[in-house]
Amino acid sequence: MVRRIIDEGKKLGQKLLSDQGIRETSEQTRVWYDKTIAGLKEFGGDKLAASARQLNEALPYIERAGFRVVEIEVVLGLTPALRPHLQFERALSEDEKEALLAEARGKGLTHTILSSLFSAINMRQRLNFSDFSFDEIEVEIGVLPSISLKFLRNGYESHSLAALPAPADTDVADG
Residues 134-162, mean pLDDT to the nearest whole number: 85
Buried b / exposed e across 124-143, counting CB within 10 Å, b at 16+?
eeeeeeeeeebbbbbbbbbe
Residues 69-98, mean pLDDT to the nearest whole number: 93
Q: Look at residue 45 in the predicted model and tell me its pLDDT.
A: 67
**What does the alpha-carbon distance between residue 157 and residue 135 come to, in Å, rounded to a whole number?**
10
Most confidently predicted of 14-23, 73-82, 95-104: 95-104
Most confidently predicted of 13-22, 96-105, 122-131: 96-105
Question: For the whole model, what pTM was predicted?
Answer: 0.65
171 vs 127, more confident: 127
The packing angle between helices 108-126 and 45-64, to 10°, is: 60
102 vs 161, more confident: 102
Most confidently predicted of 40-49, 61-70, 121-130: 61-70
**What does the alpha-carbon distance between residue 61 and residue 113 come to, in Å, rounded to a whole number?**
9
Minimum mean pLDDT among 54-58, 68-72, 143-147: which range? 143-147
Average per-residue pLDDT for the chain = 82
Does residue 24 have a pLDDT over 90? no
CA dist 34 → 16, 41, 48, 160 (Å): 22, 10, 21, 38
Band (175; pLDDT cuts 50, 70, 90): very low
